[in-house]
């Protein structure tokens, strides 16, 4: 019970009290190659900019499980291993349909990729690309996420 309460406090309650008011969970999807690690980037549906899979909390799932689910839905990731603790966090402003900006804190979880499926929920809505951590850091817009990527 204590672990569960600590998890709720660190991943949801504490960030809500400290602002930003919204929390998301992201998957930093990685694979090993002969040239070093590669990061899976996907395009956002609205703007086409490069991002990592992320989404809002899901009932019954903790942060790591939500990140894994988002990686599946948005990129077709079948994980070999899922990190249970965040490897970092970043903030960004989510532009809502009414044009207002909502500050969001995003907890990032490492997902070691076993394979990518050809058929997944958002296939055809996004582009996927494996890139070096440096290239990924240069492509994403969020400075804090860029720093996480540079330190891989």
What superfamily would CATH give domain 2-150?
Nucleoside Triphosphate Pyrophosphohydrolase (3.90.79.10)
How remote is the C-alpha of 93 from its chain's centroid?
15
The tally of CA atoms less than 13 A away on the side-chain side of residue 144 is 12
pLDDT at 106: 97
Beta carbons within 10 angstroms of residue 71's beta carbon: 29
Distance CA 23, CA 3 (A): 19
Across the chain, mean pLDDT equals 91
Torsion over CA: 7, 51, 40, 134 (sign): negative
Beta-bridge partners for 33:
36
pLDDT value at 71 more than 70: yes
pLDDT value at 21 more than 80: no
Higher-pLDDT residue of 116 and 2 is: 116
pLDDT at 100: 87
Q: How confident is the model at residue 16 (pLDDT cuts 50, 70, 90)?
A: low
């Amino acid at each position: 019970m204590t672990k569960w309460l600590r998890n709720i406090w660190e991943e949801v309650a504490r960030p809500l009290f400290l602002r930003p008011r919204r929390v998301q969970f992201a998957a930093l999807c990685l694979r090993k190659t002969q040239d070093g690690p590669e990061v899976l980037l996907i395009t956002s549906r609205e703007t086409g900019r490069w991002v990592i899979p992320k989404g809002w909390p899901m009932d019954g799932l903790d942060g790591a499980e939500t990140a894994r689910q988002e990686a599946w839905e948005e990129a077709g990731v079948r994980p070999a291993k899922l990190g249970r603790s965040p490897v970092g966090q970043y903030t960004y402003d989510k532009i809502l349909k009414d044009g207002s900006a909502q500050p969001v804190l995003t907890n990032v979880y490492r997902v070691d990729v076993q394979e990518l499926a050809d058929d997944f929920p958002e296939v055809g809505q996004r582009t996927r690309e494996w890139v070096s951590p440096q290239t990924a850091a240069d492509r994403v817009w969020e400075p804090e996420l860029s720093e996480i990527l540079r330190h891989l």
